[in-house]
Structure 1
Amino acid sequence: MVAVLDGRFPGRRAAAAAAAGALPALAFPAPALWWFGYVALVPWLLLLRSAPSGRRAALEGWLGGAAFIVAVHHWLLPSLHVFLVPLAALLGLLWIPWALLVRELLGGAPSAGRAGAALVLVPAGWLLSELVRSWQGLGGPWGLLGASQWQVPPALRLASVGGAWLVGLVVVAVNCAVVLLVAVPGARAPAVAGVAGCAVLTGAVWLWAPAPEVSGRLRVAVVQPGPVPDGPDAAALRFAAGERLTGSLAGRLVDLVVWGESSVGEDLAARPDLARRLASLSAQVGAPLLVNVDARRSDRPGIHKSAVLVGPGGPTGDRYDKMRLVPFGEYVPARSLLGWAASVGRAAGEDRVPGGAPVVMDLPGGARLGPLVCFESAFPDMSRRLVRDGAALLVAQSATSTFQDSWAPAQHASLAALRAAETGRPVVHATLTGISAVHGPAGERVGAALPTSASTAEVYGVPLAGGTTPYVRFGDWPVAAALAALAAYCAVAGARSLRKPAPGPSSPPARTTRG
């Protein structure tokens, strides 16, 4: 290990960087080793701080970042095939500034001041890479490090204050403190202070941030039809399974029935027979149905994915068209250049058409629901917007059947806990083939999740809550704080470089130390 760190074996260092970058994936579902997230970055940080040059640190940051993307998204291989590798290589570039920051602040024998700055700036640098790749065109905010803590109540309380961003900052800060403890004896005091600060912050938030107060309940039924054979009749078989399972809910006094993404394969306006069957089901169970239509619209061009509310009288007019589409899965970016991806993997043969605005739907009894479709549940700003618009219940309709036996279903279902904790509103995550799950307004699990391959309809007593979380009120303030800290650091570093006198023409350059 010492030989690798001192730079004598650059090939081994490159391999170690890739392996170290992939390690944090174990903190996410399906392994879900949430505790590992607090030390998962330590090997990578140790490698970067010992890089013999800035160029080497940049290379190892890039390799580690690319490996992290592949590890967290490896289940995309059936869809993207080899295209996942150049995509990961592109996104891996985002970790180069972070790697240089790690070497600068943690390298050598940092002073107490530099170590203290590292506890703030290294997490901020990591957040910057997450922020850039969270753009929908680059794949969206899937695999944010803070999302690995979805089942930890204190972390969920932090999310109610600053979203998954704040949780991620704390996780990286703890990793940074561990590095100072094990590798820099002279910096143990700031390291201990950093860990204590994270603990104090978490404790203060736990005591100060108001826990959601339950103000009522809705009985929500999740219909999960389970796998159906591929082929031209798949949509009809899926509809029939959902119809049968929904019929079994008659007499169970439900307030809402939720079907998964793409549960209806034809436009209801063009198929009034399907609309009548859904209306009959609504009358039979005594509750509206929220279905998801994945079809070419009869009233406008293109294929849309739409959450549609259907009552006893048919579609109510409440309709939400999915706004943020999955790159390659639902559209191909720059199709004229990258359209070949559709012939290599399972990329979309035709681009879906995005919707224009979020929609909040009214339910009988006065409750309002905010629909999300598929990976829109990964975007904190979308659920926050729906709650600010009045949603008391968030419903995410999803389908991960393409990735049935991978980590994808568990990763996707875990996001519901974060969105619930951030907004103080319950989230129903309904899928075609699992994992379907329900989380209460504090992010807590409600009832049992429906595993993959289960074919069933389950009724959940979903607690409703009022009030407004700090995250809903103030938004992504941790992002602004992190960017401000990085800007201040860059300004100070730039000012110092301008004040430093240039070496004379006949004198050797001054030796500098990072202290």
Structure 2
Amino acid sequence: MTLLSNPAVRTAGGILASGAMVALYARGGAAWVLGFVLLVPWLRNLDTSPTLATALLRAYLMTLAFTAAAFAWFGIALGLYAQVGAATGVALLLLAAPLFQPQFLVFALVRHITRHRYGAVLGALAGAAAWAAMQRLVPGLLGDTIGHGLYPSRLLRQGADVGGTAGLTVLLLLANEGVAAALARRSGGLRAIARPLALAALVPVLLAGYGLAVLSASPGPAGKPLRMGLIQSNIVAYDRQRQEKGTHAVVREVLDTHFAMSYDAVVRQQADAVLWPETAYPTTFGNPKSEAGAEFDREILAIVNSAGVPFVFGTYDRDSAGEYNAAAFVQPGTGLMGFYRKTRLFPLTEYVPAWLDGPLLRRWLPWTGDWRPGNGARVFPLRLADGREIPVLPLICLDDVDTNLAIDGARLGAQAILTMSNDSWFTATALGAEMHQVAAAFRSIETRLPQFRATTNGFSAAIDATGSVLAGTRMGERTLVIADVPVRIPRRTLMVLWGDWVGLAASAFLVVLAAWSVSPSWRRTAHAPAPARPGVLEPVKVAVLPPAARIVAGLLRTFARGSLLWMCAALLLDDALRTNTLAQVRIFSAFFLVPEAAAWGVLFLFSAKASIANGHLLLTRDARRLELALCDIAAMQCWRLPIPCPGISLQLACGRRYALALDNPGVLAAALVAAGGPPVKARTRTVIQAYAQAGLAIRRSRLDHPFAKFVLLPLALAIPAFHLHQHISYGSAFGEYYSFGLRAYLTAFALWWAAWSIGVVLSEALLRSAIEAATLLAAWLRPARAIDIRQRLERGGHVALFLGLPAWLLLTVYRA
């Protein structure tokens, strides 16, 4: 046995290879291309895991490799902050790696189970969904996700305004799955690996195409640019300096430095406003704790009045509940306009959960914080000296890794983001500060809001709506950044309209998959097979139709299906009908549901169970029973036209005929022949015969189940559309419920669901008409290939319905 054939060696090699690529990928630059393959070695390990326990063990090892490769800097910073040493900090971080990166474990669990039950394709989709759902349910401490690694590509990162960094992550996972699948099939030659490689390549192609469209589109008119002065003082370690110099001396030094740099920004550089970093004024502002604090407050107000431009700076705020990490908005001539209180606090260093807090913890960890969290996003008017008023969204440090805060600010009307951070955590290594700025830049891409970012010691930057840094600093330098950034009312991105929706959609997908797995009716993928024993047929549902009944049911069903096409045309031509859901429901009910139900009623009246036993075809309904001896059946013939549905005609030797309607007449015909009945009557191969055979040869998939097509799909489309409607009309997801009660809310949702159900039915009618017409054309031109063409058309119909409708909805929202 060679060394490479040892499973343990292959496992370690795969994980180390993925870890090495993660280390390069996290450092940015041209390594962003590794995002499409960095998990492939580990995925190949998972593919060869014989048991679930083995897959979970390999996932655990990957959490260690990933954490060490991408976040060793965090362990170092943690150890230095807690004064336990860098090595101890890294060790503690690795010990907590499964809690720090739990998505690897959930991904491996769901992927392993789904692959073994449903195959590689659904396994890949379920794994990616589990990853996104887990990161939505348990957001990472640092808000990290592998989608951040695409930031160096200006083209590909633009897709974040559709699905956020979670959407980019899902696409990267699927691309990795495609490459891994190609490697698994490499022994089969080029044809075997072509499809998974093509699907993997489709991810960067789609992202690049979307990015090109976004970057080439006109952003819309903008007024005079906002010229902001960003102060990076490079003064860090306030606590240590307080111990060495005293609080008053430290505050004095900090203020003098910021005053001098702000003077340069306003007087020499003509800045419209000034932004200081987080906790730049390291005490409470507007609510001083001492006379010295009150004097500092008056000094700041005097400086702002003298400058004649608004100042925004990090400070502290307090009330009866406690103290807050805050940002103060100070206007010349007006004074303090208000505070934004930091919403997302860092565990232990800024706050301690109530269930964990206590004297013992404070004694063991004296550096733990005691700040209170704010209550969410706030937008403040930045009133400039030239009369302009620009609404801005402040974010402090860890706030900028929270997608929802930026989205809420955009919904409140913000036109720019002001980010303040204290990056002294990252003094020992610049990688953490770089990754923090990347996470912040994605908030601009998702909302299309430009961003001004001031930090204590790096990286400060002006970021435009595409995520590009227009002007910035290096780590550890004292400098002033002046940048002119166009400010405009941004277009509403899908992320702003729907929120951080990918994780929710992934969760819904997993719920549907779980329901699919436990429901026997969903697991059926084809019609019942032919009987195993000759002469025996398990009972199947049929309708024994007299000629008049078949004509009536056929006319009703033809009218109902034809009405769907008429409704499609009416909706296209009549704007009033298109916007009137109640009218649509009435027309749909009268012209489709009623005649369709009537046709079903006719079939039900003549329904029976057909079975074969002892040389007879038995047709039974309740106590009634009809026996037809197989030797008396002179001829069998499948219906040329499936009206009102497919069926088979039986002609007895005495001349009497029976018309049996059922879903798959081929099964019954094969059973009758096997039991000794006459062969199916063969006609000259006409166009209609080839067309009918093509329809009967199709194996129905799970996507053809009515529950999937006409219940779940409309529901999946109605939920986000209704959610968006609630936000636009009522200001929140449950606005109508809060205003008018549960009944009104549920009634409104039912109407949305009904409207989308009608839309799906009409879309299916159009697709079905196209498929039937194309099959008929194929039966005329290429009768030998009619069945193959019909199968391809059915697959195309699935794509158009289950992917086309969501894509159309996304495009409609994007254009709006």
Structure 2 length-normalised TM: 0.55
Q: Which of 253, 256, 275 lines up with 1:237 in the alignment? A: 253
Q: Which of 171, 182, 188 lines up with 2:193 in the alignment? A: 188
The aligned counterpart of 1:507 is: none
The aligned counterpart of 1:58 is: 56
CA offset at residue 161 of structure 1?
Answer: 1.4
The aligned counterpart of 2:444 is: 420
1:147-158 to structure 2, matched below 5 A, reads 147-158=148-159
The aligned counterpart of 2:620 is: none
> 2:341 is matched by which residue type in structure 1?
D
The aligned counterpart of 1:100 is: 109
The aligned counterpart of 2:350 is: 330
The 8 Å contact of residues 67 and 88 in structure 1, kept in 2 or not, is answered as no
Deviation track 1:69-116 (CA, whole Å, cap 9, x = no partner) reads 344332232325254234323344442231134445668xx9xx8343
The aligned counterpart of 1:179 is: 180
Q: Sequence identity of aligned pairs in percent?
A: 25
In 2, Cα distance between equivalents of 1:177 and 1:2: 29
1:133-152 to structure 2, matched below 5 A, reads 133-134=138-139, 139-141=141-143, 143-152=144-153
Corresponding pairs, count? 486
In 2, Cα distance between equivalents of 1:4 and 1:352: 54
Task: Tell me whether 237-246 or 261-270 shows the greater mean CA deviation.
Answer: 237-246
In 1, Cα distance between equivalents of 2:275 and 2:504: 37
Summarize the Cα distance change of 1:328–1:265 in structure 2 as closer, same or farther, 3 Å threshold: same
> 2:408 is matched by which residue type in structure 1?
R
Summarize the Cα distance change of 1:444–1:498 in structure 2 as closer, same or farther, 3 Å threshold: closer
Runs of 4+ in structure 1 over 6 Å off: 337-345, 496-500
Unaligned runs of 5+ in 1: 501-515
Q: Is 2:200 the partner of 1:168?
A: no
1:91-490 to structure 2, matched below 5 A, reads 91-103=100-112, 114-134=119-139, 139-141=141-143, 143-185=144-186, 187-206=192-211, 212-213=219-220, 215-216=222-223, 217-228=225-236, 230-232=240-242, 233=245, 234-251=250-267, 252-269=269-286, 270=288, 271-294=293-316, 297=318, 299-313=319-333, 315-333=335-353, 336=356, 348-364=367-383, 365-406=388-429, 407-447=431-471, 449-466=472-489, 467-490=491-514
The 8 Å contact of residues 282 and 310 in structure 1, kept in 2 or not, is answered as yes
Unaligned runs of 5+ in 2: 80-88, 525-816
The 8 Å contact of residues 232 and 480 in structure 2, kept in 1 or not, is answered as yes
- The DSSP-based 3-state class of the residue aligned with 2:470 is coil
CA offset at residue 38 of structure 1?
Answer: 1.6
Query: Relative contact order (C-alpha < 8 Å, sep 6+): which is higher?
Result: 1
The aligned counterpart of 2:553 is: none
Summarize the Cα distance change of 1:33–1:284 in structure 2 as closer, same or farther, 3 Å threshold: farther
Between structure 1 and structure 2, the one with the greater Rg is 2
In 1, Cα distance between equivalents of 2:371 and 2:183: 51
CA offset at residue 30 of structure 1?
Answer: 6.2
Summarize the Cα distance change of 1:240–1:314 in structure 2 as closer, same or farther, 3 Å threshold: farther
In 2, Cα distance between equivalents of 1:391 and 1:484: 31
Structure 1 length-normalised TM: 0.85
- The DSSP-based 3-state class of the residue aligned with 1:55 is helix
> 1:320 is matched by which residue type in structure 2?
Y
Summarize the Cα distance change of 1:53–1:226 in structure 2 as closer, same or farther, 3 Å threshold: same
Deviation track 1:231-278 (CA, whole Å, cap 9, x = no partner) reads 214444222211221122232321111000010112122133222222
Deviation track 1:351-388 (CA, whole Å, cap 9, x = no partner) reads 21111232111111121110000011001111010010
In 1, Cα distance between equivalents of 2:3 and 2:134: 30
Deviation track 1:101-141 (CA, whole Å, cap 9, x = no partner) reads 4445668xx9xx8343344333223223322331xxx6252
Task: Tell me whether 51-60 or 476-485 shows the greater mean CA deviation.
Answer: 476-485
Summarize the Cα distance change of 1:188–1:274 in structure 2 as closer, same or farther, 3 Å threshold: same
CA offset at residue 212 of structure 1?
Answer: 3.2
In 1, Cα distance between equivalents of 2:57 and 2:102: 9
Summarize the Cα distance change of 1:90–1:162 in structure 2 as closer, same or farther, 3 Å threshold: closer
Q: Is 2:42 the partner of 1:44?
A: yes
In 1, Cα distance between equivalents of 2:425 and 2:142: 19
In 2, Cα distance between equivalents of 1:214 and 1:442: 16
The 8 Å contact of residues 461 and 481 in structure 2, kept in 1 or not, is answered as no
CA offset at residue 196 of structure 1?
Answer: 4.2
* Two-structure CA RMSD over aligned residues (Å): 3.1
The 8 Å contact of residues 433 and 458 in structure 2, kept in 1 or not, is answered as yes
Summarize the Cα distance change of 1:250–1:350 in structure 2 as closer, same or farther, 3 Å threshold: closer
Task: Tell me whether 491-500 or 466-475 shows the greater mean CA deviation.
Answer: 491-500
CA offset at residue 338 of structure 1?
Answer: 8.5
Summarize the Cα distance change of 1:278–1:314 in structure 2 as closer, same or farther, 3 Å threshold: farther
CA offset at residue 53 of structure 1?
Answer: 1.6
CA offset at residue 497 of structure 1?
Answer: 12
- The DSSP-based 3-state class of the residue aligned with 1:453 is coil
CA offset at residue 435 of structure 1?
Answer: 0.8
Summarize the Cα distance change of 1:21–1:54 in structure 2 as closer, same or farther, 3 Å threshold: farther
The 8 Å contact of residues 228 and 238 in structure 1, kept in 2 or not, is answered as no
The 8 Å contact of residues 516 and 522 in structure 2, kept in 1 or not, is answered as no
CA offset at residue 168 of structure 1?
Answer: 1.0
The aligned counterpart of 1:509 is: none
- Structure number with the higher helix fraction is 2
Q: Which of 65, 90, 99 lines up with 1:90 in the alignment? A: 99
In 1, Cα distance between equivalents of 2:149 and 2:436: 11
Deviation track 1:380-429 (CA, whole Å, cap 9, x = no partner) reads 11101001001101011001112213211111111232111100110112
Summarize the Cα distance change of 1:15–1:478 in structure 2 as closer, same or farther, 3 Å threshold: same
Summarize the Cα distance change of 1:427–1:25 in structure 2 as closer, same or farther, 3 Å threshold: farther
In 1, Cα distance between equivalents of 2:358 and 2:22: 30
In 1, Cα distance between equivalents of 2:181 and 2:14: 20
In 2, Cα distance between equivalents of 1:340 and 1:26: 41
The aligned counterpart of 1:73 is: 71
The 8 Å contact of residues 40 and 176 in structure 2, kept in 1 or not, is answered as yes
> 1:316 is matched by which residue type in structure 2?
L
Summarize the Cα distance change of 1:184–1:442 in structure 2 as closer, same or farther, 3 Å threshold: same
> 1:473 is matched by which residue type in structure 2?
L
